[in-house]
Structures are given as C-alpha cells and as structure tokens.
A = this chain, B = another copy of it.
C-alpha cells in the first residue's frame, strides 16, 4: 500500500475477535471487560454503570455467558449483605485469563501487520 495510494494521514489496522458458541456469541472484548469489572466491583449493576452500559444489557450478557457453559462464569446473590452482588467463579477467572492472553497475541499480530504496512 503506502504513499502511492493512500492519503498522508496514516491508516491504522484494527480488528476484533471473538469466540462463537453454537447459538450466539460466547466471548468478546465487551464481555471480557464486563467480567473484569464484575471481578473488581463485585456487582453487575456497578460494573454496568462503570462501563456506561445499561443494566439490562449487562445482565443479558451475563445470562448469555452462563447459559453456554456447564459451570457458570458469574455467580450472583440476590438480597443479603449490601443487597446482593456478583462475583467470578474459578471458571470465570480462568476464562478471563485465557481470553486476555489471546487478546495480547492478537494485538501483537495487529502491530506486526501495521509495521508491514508502513515499512
């Protein structure tokens, strides 16, 4: 590509990758961030607020993920201390760790391609 074809302003590669289940999506960047926030904040509603995401959407995503695995990624508690809460199960923590690593490898791929583009 390069100078001949494109404008002076640099073009940037970008991309997304995700894990697709049999029915709907299982894991992606948005879902990953949601899990990370839940792990830190201990609540679906707090996580949603921190991401300026509607609670409904956040809850739907959690339900979707939990429905696709044997052991849920997020366990919830209604009522009780502080009114309730949510936290990651060991399975959830493992999924987060693995997908974070995958994202890192993908970023490296993207960086390599960007270098090839500009080189």
State how many copies of this chain the complex holds.
2
Complex contact B7–A69 (CB within 8 A) = yes
Say whether A21 contacts B9, CB under 8 Å: yes
Rounded to whole angstroms, the CA-CA distance of A98 and B13 in the bound complex is 13
Which residues of A come within 8 Å of B, CB atoms? 1, 4-7, 9, 11-22, 26, 68-71, 91, 94-95, 98, 102, 105-106, 109-110, 113
Chain A interface, >50% SS class: mixed
* Residues of chain B contacted by A11 (CB below 8 angstroms): 19-22, 26
Neighbouring B residues of A12 by C-beta, 8 Å: 19-20
**B6 pairs with A13, CB closer than 8 A:** no
Which of B16, B95, B110, B113 contacts A5, CB < 8 Å? B95
